[in-house]
Structure 1
Amino acid sequence: MEKERKNPNLVNTFSIVGFDPNTGELGVAVASKFLGVGSIVPWARAGAGAVATQSWANKDYGQKGLELLEKGMTPDAVLSELTKDDEGLQLRQVGMVSAKGESVTFTGEDCYEWAGGIAGANFACRVIFLLTKQLYKKWLMCSSPSRER
């Protein structure tokens, strides 16, 4: 879902988590202008799930998120647990996918311009300021099944 925000800073971060139902493999990837995002954003554990936390990232979302997924909680339930007492919640983005292909994504109301995400069977993506509003809209369109374009 798209929402224009007032912060003019350029942050350019994109992340995706995914699950392959044919192989059971999980993955997470991130691209950003910030160096060292690989030590903060991506988290994955075989048999549990994958988590990506960005914007004003909360590293606890990664480790604790994987622990809760491993216990069998759904991504929606894990998201509720992780965010319930987070005072910085509205500055964060997080997405996760379980080892069953269930997914969720969240973008706080105070994230940067054109921040948003989508989640579907076996994946969840998030983006912050992907160059232009028009490119963001095209990204969302390409994330839908081709028959819907």
Structure 2
Amino acid sequence: MIVLIIARPQWFGRRKYGGWGVSIKTWQGAVYLACVFLLLVGIQLLPLNTTTRMYVTGAWLAFMFLDMFDVMWKVKRDEREYLHEAIAERNAAWAMMPVLVIGVFIELISSSLQGKPHVDPFILLALLAGVLAKSVTNYRLEREN
């Protein structure tokens, strides 16, 4: 299988402030992201029916996700940066978990009062994925030590 990757890891650095992903490090990274955005806008301007536009946009976004995931995986970090990133990720998880849990309870109570109990499955999936990731990580780390 041939994988076409366009972006280069040296064009980007680890995003330290304002979210996850990568930040632009060189002019090539800026040009790459500008081209990605312009192509996305261009796809929307094509005279396509809605279904075709949706599939073409979805394919383009899937490609971009894979391309940037490859870059994020390959961005060089030293030992100190790995540690800082691990601590930041842990703190982000600790901040998000109570908000998600409270949101689930508010949504469940609110919808139950209307007689139609419902909770957004994506929020539940996010919570379950977090618990699963933590459990698998702890199991693996304990077995390695």
Pairwise TM-score range, normalised by the shorter structure: under 0.3
Higher RCO (Cα < 8 Å, 6 or more apart): 1
Name the structure where strand makes up a greater proportion of residues: 1
